[in-house]
A and B are shown apart, each in its own frame.
Chain A
């Protein structure tokens, strides 16, 4: 009984203490906001004539917002680049990677229409060139026409070039290269050049060691 009474007394004391605490808390809290309240009108009063600069502040906010957006865009582009590199590394590991590029020099004797690629007698790419793309190649652009995987060993690459040759005649030529794929990426370049002495285009496949 005494134990019960003691517990009850303790609970009451505890309850009273918490009640007193909660009651006491607002007391100092009230003057706290009250204190700055009278202080606030003081700076507002001189700030009143300064409304025109205030009108100029939103553009600054907009500027920061715009900068944030630009920063985010930059981040997205960076992330996209990283993902692209990662994807390429995963899909085309350096050990098996084979990349074929196309370049064109001068092009007086040949207007490129299409390129067909065969690796080990299997067609892997057939690419039609628009006038703009052919023009970009003539201006020095290099196109990655094919990216794939090959096992280590000897392979044969055959490239067929179609287009308009000298005197606007339909022109189709092929070039072949037998290359050895070792451990590490392989880079091959299909070069279209003009052979001035023969007034003919020339098609070569260069193996970039």
Chain B
């Protein structure tokens, strides 16, 4: 009897896993949802105005340790590839905007950092974990979506960026 319960438990776990995987939606292949946000330097930036350029969109949060590791790597990528037509945009999803601003200043990132003032963005970009790095091609279509960050992931980003820049 106990073994039957165990089997049922395993089946349910497997089903939940499959259902969970199916519920984890992905924006890849779809148009990147447009937004306009205020950057730390006071400018308002709209994503669709970068159509024609490859955009790396990085959603980060101050409390995420992975984000802390990722920001310097993205800054290096930005300095190397911005002349080739890459636009790096950071979006701070912290609720406390003042702290997010202080954090971004402390990290000394040289690309535009936007403050998330719109509640729609998290929903539109299906943000569930931090950080999320999305690559949008010149036509405004999401081509890659990278969730989380480990050291060495920037190499994968480079491959993706080069591929999109070549198109």
Question: Considering the chains assembled together, what is the distance between the CA atoms of A23 and B43 in angstroms?
Answer: 87
Contact with A along B45-70 (1 / 0, CB 8 A): 11001000000000000000000000
Q: Is B127 an interface residue (CB 8 A)?
A: no
Residues of A within 8 A of B46 (CB): 130, 132-133
Q: Interface on chain A toward B: helix, strand, loop, or mixed SS?
A: mixed
Question: Considering the chains assembled together, what is the distance between the CA atoms of A185 and B45 in angstroms?
Answer: 33
Residues of A within 8 A of B38 (CB): 128
Residues of B within 8 A of A129 (CB): 44
Question: Considering the chains assembled together, what is the distance between the CA atoms of A132 and B43 in angstroms?
Answer: 11
Question: Considering the chains assembled together, what is the distance between the CA atoms of A128 and B36 in angstroms?
Answer: 7
Interface bin, chain A: under 10
Give A117 Cβ to nearest chain B Cβ, in Å: 16
Decide: A130 and B49 in contact? CB cutoff 8 A.
yes
Q: Is B165 an interface residue (CB 8 A)?
A: no
Question: Considering the chains assembled together, what is the distance between the CA atoms of A128 and B45 in angstroms?
Answer: 9
Q: Is A105 an interface residue (CB 8 A)?
A: no
Q: Is A131 an interface residue (CB 8 A)?
A: yes
Q: Closest residue to A132 on the B side, CB-wise?
A: B49
Give A149 Cβ to nearest chain B Cβ, in Å: 21
Residues of A within 8 A of B49 (CB): 130, 132
Give A116 Cβ to nearest chain B Cβ, in Å: 12
- B-binding residues in A (CB < 8 A): 113-114, 128-133
- A-binding residues in B (CB < 8 A): 36-38, 43-46, 49
| 12 contacting pairs across A/B (C-beta < 8 A) | A113-B44, A114-B44, A128-B37, A128-B38, A129-B44, A130-B36, A130-B43, A130-B45, A130-B46, A131-B44, A132-B49, A133-B46
